[in-house]
A and B are shown apart, each in its own frame.
Chain A
């Protein structure tokens, strides 16, 4: 499959594309259907697993990663891996900072100017923002 004359590119039969398209539509139907059931904290996990499956089908068959030079697969997978590192480390900080410090992560400017002019629930925003502002100031001096 890999060799052959370098000019004959790998041409897939149409049934591969149609089959993958059908699989993607079925997975779409499944993900919509399961969204009406509540798995609690696993909702996101289930939805993301199905999305990852669909994305793999698109990348492997539509984008030809399964058949092409594996260099392209390496590049693409590397970008996804680095993205995962980026998001996971950020989430560690966002969700778990207050396990170590006595402050949690929060919006830097909870009390933006816009909150003064808009009729969003100002009492709760106000209370949050005082905390957040003091959090940010503490945060500036990591030595404490």
Chain B
């Protein structure tokens, strides 16, 4: 019992000290992140295969994506990564109001990303630029242009779900920050969410040129 006194309340009993707890959490988070890399990696490989089989389709179809919307979303996501990094930094300094401010900004930027994506998707659904048998658009030359949209919707859709999941976790962080759960000594959940959020940004950094720019 004597050992327990003076130990911070957030230190779980199976860790020697705070630092070990933090490093363990980070190691676990990175292992999770590489499973995410491999999850998207399979889809990037699918992209590479379909693009090499159908270079003309990918070229003819990609011009139907809105470069402005894609660039806007890239800017939005990069900015949200900056605000997320600043949220972590504020918590490292124990500045709770600033953390809240940056977390809420990150959440709003994530929402902007999804709203832009919603307009892009609904425009494509309206035109029938859809995967597989749902494809009804007539303006793209070449055989099977629906393949491009299958890959497009699968990859950006999975990425969109990751943004949505990130928004859920950031909301939870906002609530916990408000309840004074974090401090300059303990901010691991904020830091881990930040790692996840930066990975979501990192994946978009590759999706954006592959679909919108080079096709």
Contact = CB atoms under 8 A, between A and B. Distances in A.
A25 B86 contact: no
Contact of B38 (A47, A79, A90, A114): A79
A21 B142 CA distance: 40
A62 to B, nearest CB: 5
Contact of B82 (A11, A18, A63, A79): A18
Most buried by A among B19, B92, B145, B213: B213
12 contacts: A7-B19, A7-B185, A21-B82, A31-B213, A50-B209, A55-B206, A58-B205, A62-B84, A63-B198, A87-B45, A94-B52, A128-B143
B47 to A, nearest CB: 9
Most buried by B among A94, A106, A120: A120
Contacts of A100: none
B18 interface: yes
Interface residues of A, number: 56
B63 to A, nearest CB: 11
Interface residues on B, range: 35 or more
Nearest to B37: A79
A91 interface: yes
B38 A83 contact: yes
Contacts of B181: none
Interface string B176-215: 0000000001000000001100110110011011101110
A63 B37 CA distance: 15
Contact of B52 (A7, A9, A17, A91): A91
A55 B205 contact: yes
A59 B126 CA distance: 38
B89 A11 contact: yes
B213 A11 contact: no
In the complex, which of the residues B89, B145, B209 has the most CB atoms of chain A within 10 Å of its own CB atom?
B209
Contacts of B143: 120-121, 124-125, 128
Interface string A1-34: 0000011010110100110110011001001100
A141 interface: no
Contact of B213 (A6, A47, A69): A47
A124 B57 CA distance: 14
A125 B147 CA distance: 13
Nearest to A90: B45
The 7 closest A-B pairs by CB, nearest first: A79-B34, A21-B82, A35-B213, A47-B209, A114-B133, A83-B41, A62-B198
A94 B92 contact: no
A103 interface: no
Contact of B37 (A7, A24, A68, A83): A83
B135 A118 contact: yes
Nearest to B36: A79
B26 interface: yes
Contacts of B139: none
Given A80-B37, A87-B44, A44 B49 contact: no
A51 B206 contact: yes
Contacts of A69: 23, 26
Nearest to A93: B49
B116 interface: no
Contacts of B44: 83, 87
The interface centre, meaning the residue of B79, B85, B143, B212 with most chain A CB atoms within 10 A of its CB, is B85
